[in-house]
Chain A
Amino acid sequence: MKKKLVSILISVAMTATILAGCGSSAATSDAGAASADSGETADAGDDAAADAGDDAAAEDAGDEAADEVEAVTDTTGPDDGTPLELWTFVELHGTFYRDMCDKWNEENPDKQIKLTTVTYPYGDMHQKMIMSLQTGTGAPDICDVEVGQFPNVVAFLTDGLVPLNDYIKPYEATMVKSRLDTYAGEDGNYYGAPFHVGATLMYYNLAAMEEAGLSQADIDAVETWDQWVALGEKYLDGIGRPDGKYWTSVDTGGTDWMWLAMAEYGEDWTGGFEGPANVQLDSVKKMLTMQQDWLSSGLAEVSPDGHIDLEAGFQNILDHNIVSFPKAAWYMSRFLNYMPEEEGNWYLAPCPVFESGQGHSVGIGGTGTVVSQQSANGDLAAEFICWAKMGEEGEKYIWENLGFDVCNTAYWTDDAFAHDDSNQYNKFFRNYPYDVLNDVKDGIGKISVVAISPTINEYFCTTTANEVLEDGMDVDEALQEFQEAVDLEQ
């Protein structure tokens, strides 16, 4: 009897360990996917922030896709249409492409497409794509590539991907150029069709500022960081400087502030394709020095848990502990999904600059869609994808359903598009997001994402930012150390 019990126990234990084993391996792939939608946004800041950046709905879909682990396949279009296969890592993107395919088939009876979308978890999809480009077989016609993974795919450009230049032409004049450049190869050709700009904007909690006796006009008057700091001091004076209340929070786990600073000065710490990477830039120095000053004067705190795109950050915003911060336009969806109580409180404005005349924004995050040379119908695939992601129908769909700031500026000034009062984002914020985007339109900078990028982001987030902002280390010294670490890798 006892023996039986023992054997049952052992078998239970064994089954459990086996199951636990399965669980953890599945979890690993989940983790990869998680990094796609929220994890890495955080840590590596920007390279993967992209799709993390993506709207929350997409994020949820991403989670689901990740949980299932197995690929989700859906097909639309007539059987006699040209078959195209598309891989993505966000379920919602797949829905977008299929809906666009139906519209395409209505408009182009002579060029029918039968589109099959396959949703894989984030890590799996990129791995499979790189592998099939490497081996020259098995790649889909079309594939979503997250911007952080782009350098890995870029390596195959010359013979692996179809240049989209000709297909972008019809839209090129009104596209945000820095965004197209983000997905350009070493040869200068465009290889990826963008979803969104991810333009960085300044978010202000106007409701809290009004309680401190400030108004929208005060925000509109801000142009430089100095003026922004002065406004912050006024705000803190207005509320009597209670403990735990700050004007903003600075990140030890993200690079957004640095990207913004570099874009304003037109610098780039990666050095682009030619390299070499140089992190000892004036813009970075100035931004870090400024942030150190804010911390010591009580204007800013260090973002709890490293950056504001995490639960503690949302809570900090909900508690009105910080009332002003720069973040990409896709952060709007975080408000809708995690901070719905804040409706009607927030006002959007261009980011402050160091010297007037500088650009006010930088594009952060994103997903570029590529067409493989292995495709038998590469021309049609490229034409379709550019139409879907840059044409009118597509841009409307992207703004309404995915909540991204679309790349085709032709619609930014279109009243029906930009000032639609039934749109959830237009309703949520005090002003129309596209009005602010129009203001910064000509100054949206770009920081390259190249092979050295992960090294830079990682070292900054693990070491440099912590040394400077948490431990108060001298900025020059910290950047010297940063540069030495980066030099080891290039």
Chain B
Amino acid sequence: MEKKKQGNAFTRFIYSQKTAPYVFVLPFILSFCIFWIYPMLSTITMSFQNIKPAGAEWVGLSNYAKLLKDGVFHQAVRNSVMYMVLTLILLLPFPMLWAVLIDSNLVKAKGVWKAVLYVPALTSVVISGTLFRLMFSEYKTGFMNQVLAFFGQPAVKWLKMYPTSYFALLLLCCWRWTGVNMLYFLSGLKNIDAALYESADIDGATAWQKFRYVTVPLLKPTIIYVLTISIYAGLAMFLESFMLWAGNSSPNNIGLTIVGYLYKRGIEKNQMGYASAVGLVLLVVALIINMAQLIATGTFKKEER
């Protein structure tokens, strides 16, 4: 009797239209609060503190004041922003182009192409970073220097100069992420009604016009999504540079990123308070850029739906 009543209460609870939605979103809400909201709040408090072994000491804004004067941090921000901008230039148009090509009738064995382009994303950055480090070794037996030697060029100290280092970083990034972004675009393309292309054909549109006036506008939600995650991923890059220079120290800090600097301060130098301030700056920069981008692209406007 008791049991049945309980069962009823439980069933009523579960089947209730009012509570059920909350029950279903609860796992997400919980993990969001525990693993996101709570750490973020404690990061904010820690950024105003000097974390010591025995406890924390409030230091007001001095961590931020130090950030303003910290040349290495400024360099890290410049590096990250530059890397982010360059990845956007490479990782938006090209994957979109590949996706359109694969979606068209021009390409045979589409499954193979998709797989080939996607596989790099499945490899560990630790492994691919190490391989790239070996490829870009300044020693004459490094792969890239052998390629240069084949064309009669002298060996280059790839990872000691800005242009060549960023070439290596961007190559690694494109190699890894082109396939993923392409899949996003591909799934976006699949959602475009074929009838639109047919009517465009009837109207006598060229391939370029179809791309410009049908494909791109209808891909917009996908583009915005890819743009948003790419901005954050670009700003938060760390492991690639950590592996490429076999550690967090690169010549004249050319490979230092914001997260690399956070790691340097927080983990290598055990200055959690200062590292928290660095982390918050990253969060604010990423938020500002993404908000600006989302507003500019009209994502928040309701009538667009």
Instruction: Spell out A's residues near B (CB within 8 Å).
Output: 2, 5-6, 9-10, 12-13, 16-17, 19-20, 23-24, 26-28, 30-32, 34-35, 38-40, 42-44, 123, 130, 133-134, 152, 155-156, 244, 252-253, 304-306, 310-312, 315-316, 451, 454-455, 458, 461-463, 466-467, 470
Contacts and interface: CB of A to CB of B under 8 A. Distances in A.
Given A20-B121, A24-B239, A32-B267, 5 more contacts: A16-B121, A42-B247, A43-B247, A463-B252, A466-B160
Contacts of B248: 43, 458
Contacts of B124: 23-24, 26-27, 30
Interface in B107-159: 118, 121-122, 124-126, 133-134, 137-142, 159
Nearest to B125: A27
Contact of A28 (B133, B138, B239, B249): B239
Contact of A466 (B52, B121, B251, B267): B251
A253 B249 contact: yes
Given A16-B122, A28-B239, A315 B141 contact: yes
Interface string B248-269: 1111110010000000100111
13 contacts: A6-B187, A24-B124, A26-B124, A27-B126, A31-B126, A39-B247, A43-B246, A43-B247, A43-B248, A133-B53, A134-B53, A312-B141, A462-B252
Interface stretch (B38-46, B162-170, B178-186, B279-287): B178-186
A156 B52 CA distance: 10
A152 B139 contact: no
Given A31-B243, A44-B247, A462-B249, A20 B122 contact: yes
Contacts of A24: 124-125, 239
Contacts of A312: 137-139, 141-142
B191 A6 contact: yes
Contacts of B269: 454-455
B246 A16 contact: no
B190 A2 contact: yes
A454 B138 CA distance: 26
Contact of B247 (A12, A17, A40, A130): A40
B183 A13 contact: yes
B83 interface: no
Contacts of B191: 6
A252 B251 contact: yes
B8 interface: no
B242 interface: yes
Contacts of A20: 121-122, 180
Contacts of A316: 139
Given A9-B190, A35-B247, A454-B269, A304 B138 contact: yes
Contacts of B138: 304-305, 312
Give the interface size class of chain B: 35 or more
Nearest to A26: B124
A19 B125 CA distance: 13
Interface string B233-245: 0000001001101
B270 interface: yes
Q: Which of A31, A44, A463 has the most CB of B within 10 A?
A: A31
Contact of B187 (A13, A17, A451): A13
B296 to A, nearest CB: 25
B190 A458 contact: no
A462 B139 contact: no
A458 B268 contact: yes
A461 B139 contact: no
Interface of B: 52-54, 118, 121-122, 124-126, 133-134, 137-142, 159-160, 180, 183-184, 186-187, 190-191, 239, 242-243, 245-253, 256, 264, 267-270
B249 A44 contact: yes
Contacts of B137: 304-305, 311-312
Contacts of B250: 462
A304 B239 contact: no
Contacts of A156: 53
Contacts of A304: 137-139
A305 B245 CA distance: 8
Contacts of B256: 462
Contact of B252 (A2, A34, A315, A466): A466
Contacts of B251: 252-253, 306, 462, 466, 470
B124 to A, nearest CB: 5
A17 B139 contact: no
B122 A19 contact: yes
B185 to A, nearest CB: 11
B190 A5 contact: yes
Contacts of A40: 247
B190 A16 contact: no
Across the A-B interface, the 6 shortest Cβ-Cβ residue pairs = A43-B247, A304-B139, A312-B139, A43-B249, A155-B53, A6-B190
Contacts of A451: 270
Contacts of B270: 130, 152, 451
A463 B246 contact: no
A2 B252 CA distance: 52
A133 B55 CA distance: 12
B126 A34 contact: yes
A31 B127 CA distance: 10
B168 to A, nearest CB: 13
A304 B136 CA distance: 11
Contacts of A244: 140
A23 B129 CA distance: 14
B246 A42 contact: yes
